[in-house]
Structures are given as structure tokens and as C-alpha cells.
Structure 1
């Protein structure tokens, strides 16, 4: 019997957290501001997520934009890791680049050491380190990361299948390669058919029209915000079974 494929759901609200749990997700990536790729969740959201019956990993990303971090950024990232530990969550989601796109060994080493005792995912800062991802895979293994979240350097995992396959080949089971970006019910079949998946990452979300009103008019809410949907989580779990 083939090994079960684990589904990680990324989300950024209490409502989406409840939907992911209801739908049977295996793990949560907890963020705020997913529209910018995800930022560190608030202490309140972390406290709520700590009650979840499944593991929760918190995004550690101090601001929107790139992943080239100065000393002030790193100080904030380290404090955010402390907050995740204090909240009782299972792990952290980390990444850092140099200006040329390669992974920043020095910053990642500091973050990894500070995260001792927590699980660690290397996030899509990895995708900037291509097109030869082998050195980045090796560094992630060296620093003790459990997995790499990646689209193969493309806008979606489906477009990055060739690079993802090369990452799987180079990893040789030493670290989990977890495809993410554009993973949905329409694409998961093709991704699963090509790659020897152990884990996969999706928002399992549904876009809905925001209610008309002053909040929409003033720009406090997107016209079609996305929220994790329990029914989609269930269907994704079935597709991976």
C-alpha cells in the first residue's frame, strides 16, 4: 500500500482555520496576509491555532516584499520565533535570500538555531535560488529543515513540474519536497501523476464576492476575498487518498 500523502493547508483567519480542521487537513501553515504570500500571524491567531487537534506551523516573515533581510528584520524574525514557541505551535516556516537570489546561509543558520525544538519548513524563498536548486536542497538538509515548500521556481507547481522532479531526484528522500502554489482540485491529479509526493500544500480556498458596503468602498476588504472551504479540503483529501 502506498504511503498516505499529507495535505498542508495555508490560511490566514480563524474562519479558515476552523474550515481546514473540519475538512480533515493534516497540518496547517498559519499566516496573515496570504495575498502578499503570507506574513507572521498575530499572537491572537496563534493562540487560537494552538488549540487545533493537528500540527500548526507559523509563517515567520516580518514584512511583504523580498526575503533579503537586514539586522532589524532578523531581530524581528527571531522575536516572532519566540512568539511561536510561547504559543505552543509545532513549527515555523522560514526563508532568507541574498540579493542574487541564493539562500542566505548566515541568516538561515541563525533562524534555524533559534528554532531548536520546533519543526522547520523552508518556504518559497527557495524558488528564487534556481534554476539549479541542488545547492539549496543541500543547504536545507544541512540546516535541519524537515521540508521545502516550492513551486519549482515557477508561478505554479504545475508549471514547475520539471524542476520539482529534479528536486525530488536530488533530495533522494533526505528531505520532503512539498509542492505548493496553484495546487487545487483541477491541478492536483497532474502533479500527483508526475511526482512521488509525500506532502502537498494548498489553500483549498474559495473566492466569494464581498458584501457591498462602506468597507468594500474604502478598500478594507478585497472584492473577491478567498477563504479555506471545508468541502474543498475534503475533496482534496479524497484526491490524495
Structure 2
């Protein structure tokens, strides 16, 4: 088996260091991973660019669904321009219609803003009622990578849908499983033709001081990227080769 690329999502400078130390091949740069990842700061993007580690920046101006208002689409276009200028070689985008189908018109607009950048379609695709149709639309727009859990909370539980997506995109679109991927859940995915895998490789933050918690400065369940977890994930993938 060809070496499987490991992408690690991070949301702060320490996470950037940990992911690199553990052997991540590529980074997904975010803010607020506790909310699924929002647009990162230009400073984090610039720091990733300085290290030379390939890194794609999330473009998501708020938590929640992916049905964007005109103002939000305009903001995302501006974010793409700002993060391109900060050194991002690629971005992670997504847009949905109210019924869960991909919003082709909004995606096309964001892709125009991201012309020349590497682009991943994010887990907005997991809301789509017809995964094959979603892959076809993405391919028709020129998207070559899709991050998906297979429509499940964990990719290990979405294998059947991931397999359908991989068949639909074969030779055109790389389907990158992500969500709850770890050395422990990886065996559920090994029947798939894996080329890239997305993981957080994180551990829980220590409990905050009482006043920090009382004032809401650290959300429940907050986590941080761990170099040891990254290295373990890299080793588990290498063992498949």
C-alpha cells in the first residue's frame, strides 16, 4: 500500500508545534476546534507558512450549519484573500442548501476567490442526502479532495457511505476520512482505498481553575493537539503500508 498522508487539524500555535513534532504531513488550520473549526487568524497561517509544513486554512465564519447568508459569503471571500496573503497554500470550504444538498453556486463563488489555491471540501458534504450526487457536483466544480465522516459522528461508523463516495469519485476526487480517527478506530477503515486521513490527535485539557470555568473562558471538553498522539497515528498508518 502507498504511504497514507496524515492531515492533523490544529487551532493554536502549540498545536502547530505538536503536529509537526509528531510527524503530520499536512495541517488543517482552524480556530475553535471545540466548535468544529472556524477561520483561523492570519498570524497562525503565517506561522505555519514560516515552518514550511503544508497547511490548509478553514474558511468558516461561524459555528452551526453551512447555509450562508450573502454577508457571510462576502466575509468568506475576504477571509480567503487575507489568508492567501498570510501564506496559506490552500483553504477548506463548504456550503449547503437548506435541504442539505451542496450549494453549487456558493461553492463556485468561493472557488473563484480561491483560484490557484489547494481546496478541500469540508464536512458540509456529510449533510447531503445523496453522497454520490455531492461527489459529482464537487468534481464538476474542480474540487479534488473531500473531507467526510461518511455522514456519521465517527468515520469508523460511516464506512458504507465513505465507500460509496470513493467509488463515485474514483480517479477524480480523493475522499479523506475524518472524525474520531485514531489508531483504535483505524481498523474499521482499512478496507477502504485510503490515500489521506484526517485526525485531531488530541487529548483533553486539564481542568481549568474554578474562576476560569465559572466565567466560561474554557469550554467543557476542550482539547489540545498532542505530539505523542500524532506520532501514534503516523505509526498506525505506516503499519498499513
CA contact (8 A) 1:210 1:224 kept: no
Cα distance between partner residues in 1 of 2:33 and 2:136 = 28
CA contact (8 A) 2:43 2:86 kept: no
Cα distance between partner residues in 2 of 1:146 and 1:52 = 25
Alignment of 1:101-180 (within 5 A): 101-130=100-129, 132-180=130-178
2:226 is matched with 229
Unpaired segments ≥5 residues, structure 1? none
Cα distance between partner residues in 2 of 1:14 and 1:88 = 16
Q: How much has 1:224 moved relative to structure 2?
A: 4.4
1:99 is matched with 98
CA contact (8 A) 1:210 1:222 kept: no
Look up the SS of the partner of 2:151 in the other structure. Answer: coil
Give a deviation string over 1:32-77, Cα, whole Å, max 9, x none: 0111111000122222222122111000001111100111011000
Q: How much has 1:212 moved relative to structure 2?
A: 2.1
CA contact (8 A) 2:101 2:128 kept: yes
Look up the SS of the partner of 2:119 in the other structure. Answer: strand
CA contact (8 A) 1:103 1:125 kept: yes
Q: How much has 1:214 moved relative to structure 2?
A: 2.1
Q: How much has 1:82 moved relative to structure 2?
A: 0.2
Look up the SS of the partner of 1:153 in the other structure. Answer: coil
TM-score (norm 2): 0.95
Cα distance between partner residues in 1 of 2:31 and 2:97 = 24
Look up the SS of the partner of 1:148 in the other structure. Answer: strand
Cα distance between partner residues in 1 of 2:112 and 2:220 = 41
- Which of 175, 183, 199 is equivalent to 2:181? 183
2:71 is matched with 72
Q: How much has 1:223 moved relative to structure 2?
A: 4.6
Q: Structure 1 residues 159, 47: closer, same or farther in 2, change over 3 A?
A: same
Q: How much has 1:12 moved relative to structure 2?
A: 0.5
Q: How much has 1:128 moved relative to structure 2?
A: 0.6
Cα RMSD of the aligned pairs, angstroms, is 1.1
Look up the SS of the partner of 1:177 in the other structure. Answer: strand
CA contact (8 A) 1:189 1:239 kept: no
